[in-house]
Amino acid sequence: MTPKLNRWKRFADWDERPLRLDKFAAEDPANGFSAFSSPADPKPGIGIAGGRVVSLDGVLEHDYDMIDRFIARHHIDPDVAPEAMALDSATVARWLVDMNVPRETLVRLAHGMTPAKLAEVVSQLNALEIAFAYSKMRARKTPGNQAHVTNAKDDPLQLAADAATAVAFGFDEIETTMRVSRNAWSNAVACAVGGAVGRWGTLFQCSSEEAEELRIAMAGFTSYAETVSVYGTEKSFTDGDDTPWSKAFLAAAYASRGVKMRCTSGAGSELLMGFHEAKSLLYLEARCLCLQRGMGVQGTQNGGIDGAPLTATIPGGVRELMAENLIAVWLDLECASGNDARSTESEIRVGAKILPYLIAGSDLICSGMGSILKYDNSFNPSLINGEELEDYLVLQRDFEADGGLTPLPESRAIELRERAVEAIAAVFEELGLSTPTEDMKTSVVYASGSDDTRSLMPRDVSFISEAIKERGITVIDVVKALANRGFREEAENLLNVVKLRLSGDYLQTSAMIRNGRIVSAVNDPNDYLGPGSGYRVSEERRLQLNDIRDVLDQKEVLRSEALHEKDEARHIRYRNLGPAANGSTNDDVVIGISPAFGLKLYRTTAGHRLSEVLGAMLDAIRARGLKARVVRFRHTADTSFLGLSAARLAGSGIGIGIQAKGTAVIHQRDRQPHNNLELFSNAPITRLEHYRALGANAAAYALGEMPEPIVVPQRGEAMGSRYHARVALIYAIETGLTEAGAAPEEVDVTLTGAKS
Amino acid sequence: MTRTRADYPLAETQPGAVTGKHGKALPDITLDAVLAGEVTMEDLRITPQALQAQADVARDVGRPTLALNFERGAELVEVPQDFIMQVYELLRPGRAKSKEELLEAAATMRDTYQAERIARFIEEAAETYAARGLFTFRF
């Protein structure tokens, strides 16, 4: 007796899925858990008097907190504000998705909009509209991407190798940080050197304490900074130990040193810090973004960032992340659009999260993607990591969408990793910092992650790092060391990156380097005005995106079949006996084989020799005392028709149809073609024992019995994705041999080889 | 002269006019020059002129706030790193104990480094911090 349970077992199944590790939070605006709107959010509003903003979203000037004050003074353009604020928000929302309303028109209006107004407008868009508007409004036309390059040991050899690999995959920026903060200088030198291998132009940052980061930039090792965080409430801002003025001062300081900079802000930070003022995530983020435009930074790292996992627990949270990114680009800021902190354990949620950005494009789609393994990511795992990077390459190919990356052949990856490891080792030796052993270097070259390496440990690295800092080593010293040790190309590459800071061209909005040239929102502005405009994947680029590894074509299929041809010749001989006759006795069962069976194709998709498959069926039929004939059909390659035609020739009225790929059917003379007795459609999992049972059942039907149909057990494998490309190519070989009206041929089969 | 978007990128349109602090132009900063010891970090520093040119370009493409940041940056080029970090520290919450400390820093920026925009910016911060009680002691 089956016992009664207290739950539906499906829920127990669901409990086992990674999704259930994600926790979800109830909507609760009073406690800050609200994505798009909260009763505490102000209504949009502005008061202008004498060219001054005297009220902002319902707050009068003398009540401004420091964020209101900064936005009123530095973001709002009083000449535009009256017009922009008077517009109906629904109308502006429509303009955002209207391809006929140019980006510049909307950017100008945003200069006059308050945070509440911007939030009110984008709130009206659904997720698809937000993605579309984002694609239209982002500042630079060509999309790009950023990688994290870190490891659990702060091992500089691995950093160099992984930086070189990331550069080769096409990342426009790489960002590092440390497990141990005093290792910052070593990390900076290692990534700068690794990032100079293969090509030049990848920008690099070393995320560390504000003052230290600026010093590292001054020494020339890094070329940008992005961890200048801003917050949407006054209390979180001061708890973050800054003010809008201190951060804006830092922004000017970076500019004065010729170093590219963006701020960071994202939903959920105020909630995490405990000062959310019961406001919605989007409204607080709109404040952050208006602040950033006011500060005069060229861009923002935005879209939840460290707060993304928390935001994703809230209803509509992921849509909110997209909405805040839209506000960022509408405010004309470069957007490194999050998709970094891993916001879920569910691979489905990961894929769904990245897709809108991949197809809409973004200045930096991830900020950044883990180019290293999850456990090596010193920032915390990214949405997409070294483990899943290939999935992302395939998504690019699936959607013909440029996600900024290019497939990298394995041999090239090894070459670059060797070069990078040798280069950093040479620099360390030349500067008297360390002498890495051959074993250290080799272990790093082939390592997927730091678990595989026998290299420098965090403590070793600390001595290197402190020496770099204490001795005042600069990028000039590193360039010289590289050149002196024969790494001239890398020396040139590194020097080129430092030279960028002289003109400051890369300080402009959304600047990156492609093929040695500056590409920014100034000389590559997004000009989307509908299909045919904006960024388009060129044919050349499309072919790059397509070039993933292990791609199957007909040549490849025929090549592998040719390998089997000789082998089969030792096991079976087919002899054509001329036109097949109708069987005259009721103990006659016919096996109908397809046109290419044993002639061009030799194995089933499960890998069984056709000789063995045929032998198993013949044996099983004969074991019941029946006669079994083999007939080749050339008028069709379709399993059903093969089976039916065989049945019609058989004296018993029972026939088997089988294709070379192993798909088989048991048929009966008087049935409709597709209404067979038994079908064996999952050839890739059909084993010899099934073919034997198939033969036995055919015999049983011929004897007038009613056998138990054969079940080929399957566990829900995605047969189509695993086999259909091969199957279609194989089937084309079969159909290529068919000939209308070709008569069935009696075949004498001699099994010669030993069974395996 | 005021630059426009047509001058961008400056490193491509007028490389000879892009120079470092000691006047060494972009085409002269080669690997061989570095190896010959003719290039120092100072030669790789942006100039106020370059930042002003970028400010012009930013303004021309409709980014006035970015232009202002470049102009503030231009004023800081000649300010020593230590003083920049000192002023940054002072601007952080609770570091300055009174408005006067910030005003003093603003005066140094104005008088010693002719950093007028920066000075006004610090003064504005001082006024805001006073209004918002940011000169309170933080433990």
Q: Is A398 a catalytic residue?
A: no
Please judge whether A504 and B85 are an interchain contact, meaning their C-beta atoms are less than 8 angstroms apart. no
Nearest Cα to Cα of residue A703 among A596, A585, A611: A585
Nearest neighbour of A296 by CB, restricted to B9, B66, B76: B66
The predicted structure's pLDDT at residue B1 = 81
Please judge whether B9 and A518 are an interchain contact, meaning their C-beta atoms are less than 8 angstroms apart. yes
Q: pLDDT tens for residues A179-228?
A: 999 999 999 999 999 999 999 999 999 999 888 999 999 999 999 999 88
Average pLDDT, chain A: 96
For residues A151-164, average pLDDT: 98
Q: pLDDT tens for residues B45-66?
A: 999 999 999 999 999 999 999 9
Nearest neighbour of B85 by CB, restricted to A66, A211, A522: A211
Q: pLDDT tens for residues A578-602?
A: 999 999 999 999 999 999 999 999 9
What is the domain-level CATH number for residue A132?
A: 1.10.220.70
Q: pLDDT tens for residues A253-270?
A: 999 999 999 999 999 999
Q: Is A146 a catalytic residue?
A: yes
Q: Does B130 touch chain A (CB under 8 A)?
A: no
Tell me: do A533 and A615 sit in the same domain: no
Contacts of A86 (CB under 8 A, 6+ apart): none
Please judge whether A298 and B41 are an interchain contact, meaning their C-beta atoms are less than 8 angstroms apart. no
Q: pLDDT tens for residues A691-704?
A: 999 999 999 999 99
Number of domains in chain A: 3
Domain span at residue A468 reads: 146-235+254-259+323-546
Q: What is the CATH architecture assignment of B79-139?
A: Orthogonal Bundle (1.10)
For residues B26-48, average pLDDT: 96
CB A314 within 8 A of CB A281: yes
Tell me: do A89 and A159 sit in the same domain: no
Local confidence band at A756 (pLDDT 50, 70, 90 cut-offs): very low
What is the interface pTM, i.e. ipTM, of the complex?
Answer: 0.98
Q: pLDDT tens for residues A379-420?
A: 999 999 999 999 999 999 999 999 999 999 999 999 999 999
The predicted structure's pLDDT at residue B135 = 86
Local confidence band at A754 (pLDDT 50, 70, 90 cut-offs): low
Nearest neighbour of B8 by CB, restricted to A483, A492, A522: A522
Judge whether residue A524 has pLDDT over 80.
yes
Report DSSP state, residue B55: H
Local confidence band at B139 (pLDDT 50, 70, 90 cut-offs): low
What letter represents residue A585's amino acid? T
A476's enclosing H/E stretch is helix A475-484
Local confidence band at B117 (pLDDT 50, 70, 90 cut-offs): very high
Q: Is A367 a catalytic residue?
A: yes
Catalytic residue from among A38, A124, A146, A465: A146
Q: Does A131 touch chain B (CB under 8 A)?
A: no
Q: Does A241 touch chain B (CB under 8 A)?
A: yes
Comparing A717 with A314, the larger pLDDT belongs to: A314
The predicted structure's pLDDT at residue A339 = 97
The predicted structure's pLDDT at residue A499 = 97
Q: pLDDT tens for residues A264-310?
A: 999 999 999 999 999 999 999 999 999 999 999 999 999 999 999 99
Tell me: do A346 and A446 sit in the same domain: yes
Please give the Cα distance from A301 to A298 (Å, whole number): 11
The predicted structure's pLDDT at residue A239 = 92
Interface test with chain A among B26, B49, B51, B63, by most A beta carbons within 10 Å: B63
Tell me: do A88 and A197 sit in the same domain: no
Local confidence band at B138 (pLDDT 50, 70, 90 cut-offs): low
The packing angle between helices A719-736 and A554-569, to 10°, is 70
Q: Is A175 a catalytic residue?
A: yes
Tell me: do A635 and A722 sit in the same domain: yes
Tell me: do A540 and A579 sit in the same domain: no
Residues B96-105 as b or e (16 or more Cβ within 10 Å = b)? beebeebbeb
Please judge whether B45 and A518 are an interchain contact, meaning their C-beta atoms are less than 8 angstroms apart. no
Q: Count Cβ–Cβ pairs < 8 Å, chain A vs chain B.
A: 206
Tell me: do A131 and A155 sit in the same domain: no
For residues A66-76, average pLDDT: 98
Q: Is A62 a catalytic residue?
A: no
Residue at token pair 């006659």: A588
Tell me: do A616 and A741 sit in the same domain: yes
Catalytic residue from among A68, A155, A334, A340: A340
Please judge whether B125 and A219 are an interchain contact, meaning their C-beta atoms are less than 8 angstroms apart. no
Q: How many CB atoms are located within 10 Å of the residue A741 CB?
A: 6
Tell me: do A192 and A67 sit in the same domain: no
Q: pLDDT tens for residues A334-359?
A: 999 999 999 999 999 999 999 999 99
Tell me: do A579 and A719 sit in the same domain: yes
Tell me: do A538 and A570 sit in the same domain: no
Lowest average pLDDT, out of A98-107, A409-418, B13-22, goes to B13-22
Domain annotation covers residue A596: yes
What is the domain-level CATH number for residue A735?
A: 3.40.50.10150
Tell me: do A541 and A564 sit in the same domain: no
Residues 498-527 of A with CB under 8 A from B: 498-505, 507-509, 517-518, 520-523, 525
Give the whole-number percent of chain B exceeding pLDDT 70. 98
Of A119, A137, A155, which residue sits at a domain end?
Answer: A137
For residues A324-336, average pLDDT: 98
Residues A472-509 as b or e (16 or more Cβ within 10 Å = b)? ebbbbbbbbbbbebebebbbbbbbbbbbbbbbbbbbbb
